[in-house]
Amino acid sequence: MVELANSRSFAEDFMRAHGDTRRIDVVVPSFTNVPWLLPDTHRVAIVHERLAKLFIGKLPLTIAALPFAMPPMREMVQFHRSRSADSGLVWLKERLHHYAAQG
């Protein structure tokens, strides 16, 4: 199993809450490192579907459905209300809304 460094992932927290444990072989700093550490091993990883699909044509990988239901992961942006008119923050929120709406 490949795990992210310095923090437990959403999947790890979910699995621990349901009494599941994993053997972690490798710890990496970013989800984008994960696919590179899977080919020619017996490792598996839980990553975002979009990331997995990006690497399917580039690396010898297979996508498989999880054997359990995983709830959707929610991402949030926090900022102080005094910054709500900040043009950079307004731009960022608009971009996030745009990409989130694309599914």
Instruction: Determine the structural domain holding residue 23 and report its residue range.
Output: 2-56
Q: Do the domain assignments include residue 68?
A: no
Q: How far is CA 66 from CA 44, 50, 92, in A?
A: 11, 15, 33
Tokens of 83: 């910054």
pTM recorded for the entire structure: 0.63
| Count of structural domains within the chain | 2
Q: Do the domain assignments include residue 61?
A: no
Domain match, 16 and 52 both:
yes
Question: pLDDT tens digits for 16-37?
Answer: 888 777 778 888 888 889 999 9
Domain match, 52 and 8 both:
yes
Question: pLDDT tens digits for 42-99?
Answer: 998 888 888 899 999 899 999 998 888 888 877 778 889 999 899 999 999 999 889 8
Tokens of 69: 């239901």
Tokens of 42: 């017996």
Domain match, 82 and 44 both:
no
Q: Do the domain assignments include residue 84?
A: yes
